[in-house]
Structure 1
């Protein structure tokens, strides 16, 4: 049996590895002795652990079960051939020979089932260990203060994760519960193995390596379709926590309807993120710069604020502002004259115009979130 197995299955032919040869011999001997015990004492309990252990060994070697199953079939064939050769001298009847053959194949199924159990157990344990390492790596990357580069590199190697030059963090909304599920009960598509996923965290997140790389943007959009979340800016690996902080701030503004719902990119909304970084300071700025509008009726304030923001953002021509606001140019000219009366020479000051735009953008976002 050993000769046939080593001849026919290259994975088990290691002539220079004495320990491995002993392991193969031990496996074959255990299989034969187990079969003989089963024939001698059919009702005795059978211990599957030796072949579970063999299955675990196959997983540790990085193989699938095909070589082991082939070895079992070869061993059974050799055993059956030997029995047929000695059936005559032993006086075995055809019925006894048939019964022995059937017992061999039943036993072969038992060995295969035990090996498969051990194999799957080892695979599950290895997957669980790898998942724990990846979760720990995620903790290190997002920790404050940042762990040492050596510690990150060592754990990345143990987790099978290639260290990228840049990363982007994604903050996901957990409002649907069961973070692996999408709205409607659909599961999120599988993410590429180089994406570190913390989907079971109280605040679920992802770390995406090389976010500007080929296909990364499309991958994220496809995987996160239907989810509310924010993709932080691409940063060096050491600044991963910063990318996540920006993503979470953007997600919070999205929940408040200051920023759009759905999947948004921080890079598309940097101005609003800066504006809302210190809302008390922005409110104080708005109180000063929008004071000339304070005595007007709310509807007048809204119209003039909208016109002034469009004028600051899109140029000082009444025609262009009118096109942006979908009103008549004459209406814009009338409002601009009102604003000149209210603000006087302030509108000629670049610093005042800059601060006015900040205050007006913040006002627009707050009003939009209330509607």
Structure 2
């Protein structure tokens, strides 16, 4: 009966045609024999015997079958089909034997009920094994992915990263982009960027524990694909680093962290759009010293006068001396610009002819006061 059952399953469940060949076929046949033996012992047991003792070996075997299907990457469809085919063949054989033995109709009916209840028990045990294996595999893989993500954020060696990526079954993309977002706003976000997106929260490098931030490492979000950012992050406050080769994503993460210091009103702060501010705030003390030295000729003036002249000088530098453009930006007459620039030339003397001095003034005044830096 076991041989005929295995043959029927092989013919009717294509997924098992190859799996049941050779040594594996004999193993499966032995498992079927064990199941049939357990059923027969269950059928003839005395009323006062424990059915669990009879069922346990078969149910354990079914559980391991379910786990094996999950490890092979298969769903439960094929195994459940095999159970149905096996139940049909087994019942045909068993019912024929029962009729031949002269059992009455009521006994045969109870026998049929017992056959299909037994198959239901085996199926349920296999489903449990399949589910448990998937859950265990998922948890283990997630731990590997979390470890890989933290190694990326800490700048681990490429050899270490490659080994961890292989262990986590994660295929490295060309680039990764770091995105910092509130942990409470991450629901469904990783899925919008694709299955290869890495996400981790809690105990992030450079982040205070009380900030409750999460970081996503998004694959291949450079060039034209970067436009997906705003729609994907809509309604969230996010800091986005630049795209970097995947093993160098730590620099993207550090850039996103730096963007926390920028006083920008936008919900989504793309660091690619704020490079000047990031450069000028890289060393706040140096920026403050540069501004102080560059504006030293204005130090003895009244504060309001010094502020107006600094504002005019900044606009003059940015507009490359185009008086009308300066006047339009400052909402003053062109003659006022000319008058102020005359004052500035008297204060700075020949420093306006020194390229180095112009560079220092441009950097010191390059960002308007209150635009997001303390410089």
- TM-score bracket for the superposition, by shorter chain length: 0.7 to 0.9
Partner in structure 2 of residue 188 of structure 1: 189
Distance between the aligned counterparts of 2:329 and 2:202, measured in 1?
45
Partner in structure 1 of residue 271 of structure 2: 266
Partner in structure 2 of residue 54 of structure 1: 65
Conserved? CA contact 1:167–1:211, under 8 Å: yes
1:331 Cα offset (Å): 4.2
Partner in structure 1 of residue 215 of structure 2: 205
If the length of structure 1 is used for normalisation, what is the TM-score? 0.83
Q: 2:327 aligns with which of 315, 322, 327?
A: 322
3-state SS of paired residue (2:189): coil
Partner in structure 1 of residue 38 of structure 2: 34
3-state SS of paired residue (2:242): coil
**1:25 paired to 2:29:** yes
1:156 Cα offset (Å): 2.2
Partner in structure 2 of residue 235 of structure 1: 244
In structure 1, list runs of 5 or more residues that go unmatched.
none
If the length of structure 2 is used for normalisation, what is the TM-score? 0.82
Q: 2:84 aligns with which of 69, 73, 78?
A: 73
Conserved? CA contact 1:232–1:267, under 8 Å: yes
Distance between the aligned counterparts of 1:130 and 1:114, measured in 2?
24
In structure 2, list runs of 5 or more residues that go unmatched.
208-213
Question: How many residue pairs align between the two structures?
Answer: 354
Please give the residue correspondences for 1:106-185 in structure 2 after superposition, counting only pairs within 5 Å.
106-144=117-155, 146-147=156-157, 149-170=158-179, 172-174=180-182, 179=183, 181-182=184-185
- Higher mean alpha-carbon deviation, 352-361 vs 64-73, is at 352-361
Distance between the aligned counterparts of 1:26 and 1:290, measured in 2?
91
Distance between the aligned counterparts of 2:312 and 2:38, measured in 1?
90
Partner in structure 2 of residue 309 of structure 1: 314
1:165 Cα offset (Å): 4.1
1:56 Cα offset (Å): 0.4
Distance between the aligned counterparts of 1:29 and 1:214, measured in 2?
61
RMSD (Å), alpha carbons: 2.9
Distance between the aligned counterparts of 1:283 and 1:369, measured in 2?
10
Partner in structure 1 of residue 211 of structure 2: none
3-state SS of paired residue (2:239): strand
Distance 1:287 1:105, change over 3 A: same
